[in-house]
Chains A and B, each alone.
Chain A
């Protein structure tokens, strides 16, 4: 049980990183970015292709992450240019199209077979009470914590953080005050693209590395982000880690098979019920 929970921690770390990025995007640029993990997947696949052309491993990964971030920025530019005033649902729908496009493109460019990722980190890091904690788990959990703490500090303590909060809350007023709304929004897309790119590059060698599996990490990450209502970074972080650990522990019991894939959904439903508990029926509808 405990062993299983720790076994799910690596996946939990990935969920947490993506969940934190999803929360940031929802807060700052009013988008639930369904293509978040797909961008990282595409960057990682590109890195494998570059490595195949003889580029050394670290520059190849960096190059893949940069291209992924540029694609993310491109998508951000499209949304900022043509859908600046649109509702969050309309803006998010564009990212679903981007998700499908990225999966299709990776099939065309890289084929449907899983890729051979050379691991940046591999093997066990240490054993804790008979439980093996892998290097990837350690790196992912640290990355998740660092990203959420850094995001919190940047938003709370810096000038750029204030401007970012301004464009999120009152984009028109911010623009009138001379805040560069569009470049900042595109910057948010690029930065989250880089963060998720790093997360996928670390985790891809230890996971099922085909385009669909990697892109669909966004589903569990969305469930984790919901725990913080797409508003709170700390809850997104905790949600991600908890979700991974719960899935890992649930896999230890064959009786729970039916529940295993439902965990994210159950989390979402319970959260929404809790969140809507004070709403009167008419308003909640």
Chain B
């Protein structure tokens, strides 16, 4: 029995007990008119969970409803679970359509885009994705994510490592899920083309959730690398650090992605070699004095939602959605909402991202192309800013 299926079985058991928590519910509000239904498809249970994006979007909608909604019409936000399982994701998308959703907002999922992008297109729905992961999030006409995604993130972190930190030999430990390999390759090629640098060693066979990453970090050491790039999510990135610590790799620098950016990760990092570097996809919330996050932080704290990048994505998706919703004259249906987003020509500015959000008419959307470099320095257990401004790549 594979680890994933076992985890799924275990979590289904939990979900059965907490069925109500895994489903969505309508929001009560002071706006009492005919509700406008909005949905999101999320990884709420399964091997990886992103729950904060939809919680943050819900908090934005609750506030909007409390302030009277859209001319007295409240947003009814349906949060659906895809369990990181293609069949459940398909069912969730149909459920959203069945409930009469006018758009998908703040979804955070490993496979929603890959499984459902064609269906959304066919139904004439748009999705303002809170956390887009799979390549289809950034290459289909019906979906526009607010985040920059793991591929651009990889290009950013590699560029920062080779150009700003002057690292000479970068080794890549790459974990591949589904059909993501070509999208990563495109990002690596773009990095090589712009900087003339290549990997000293790239292992794209690193398993997800390996119990022990020692054999892989040893490989990087054997190749004589001075930096390790890894696209692992939090547990795996911390596994890489632990293995490097056991091997005494004090001179190694670690280049990770936003998926490793959380306060818990920094607290757990008892060892970071010469430092961990991450290009945060949204304004870093662990760094004091960044006013861009004030409204988001206040809303999260008021609703007891953990502060994470996923929460920032959900908040931004809901905020951009409401901005466009207010411009719609007449009926609010999925057709008019989709038309309003596809007709968008003026980007929505928000200081939480380095580049403004836009949906627009194109066949693919990836408006967020910036990252804010942050770091955990040796001996520290907190994230600090490693730059004064956003970095972007061509």
Q: A residues engaging B (CB < 8 A)?
A: 3-4, 7-8, 10-11, 100, 103-104, 107-108, 112-116, 118-119, 122-124, 132, 134-137, 205-210, 212-214, 216-217, 247-252, 254, 257, 260-261
Contact = CB atoms under 8 A, between A and B. Distances in A.
B184 to A, nearest CB: 15
Nearest to B8: A212
B61 to A, nearest CB: 25
Contacts of B235: 113-114, 208-210, 213
Interface residues of B, number: 42
Contacts of A205: 242, 270
B268 A114 contact: yes
B7 interface: yes
Given A11-B214, A114-B235, A254 B246 contact: no
Contact of A207 (B13, B14, B221, B242): B242
Interface in B243-259: 243, 245-248
Interface stretch (B25-33, B64-72, B136-144, B205-213): B205-213
A7 B215 contact: yes
B311 to A, nearest CB: 14
A35 B245 CA distance: 29
Given A116-B267, A251-B219, A216 B3 contact: yes
A205 B241 CA distance: 11
Contact of B270 (A103, A119, A213): A119
Contacts of A137: 246
Contacts of B264: 113, 116
Interface of B: 3, 6-7, 9-11, 13-14, 47, 49, 203-205, 207, 209-216, 218-219, 221-222, 234-236, 238-239, 242-243, 245-248, 264, 267-268, 270-271
B219 to A, nearest CB: 6
A250 B215 CA distance: 9
A22 to B, nearest CB: 17
Given A212-B7, A212-B10, A132 B212 contact: no
**Interchain residue pairs A-B with the least CB separation, the first 7:** A251-B215, A134-B246, A257-B205, A116-B268, A124-B248, A208-B239, A114-B235
A18 to B, nearest CB: 12
Contacts of A260: 205, 207
Contact of A114 (B13, B219, B238): B238
B10 A210 contact: no
A254 B202 CA distance: 9
Contact of A208 (B13, B210, B222, B270): B210
A240 B9 CA distance: 28
14 contacts: A8-B212, A10-B246, A104-B10, A107-B14, A118-B270, A119-B270, A123-B245, A132-B246, A132-B247, A208-B235, A212-B47, A252-B218, A254-B204, A254-B205
A208 B175 CA distance: 14
A141 to B, nearest CB: 14
For A10, A103, A137, which residue has the most chain B Cβ atoms within 10 angstroms? A103
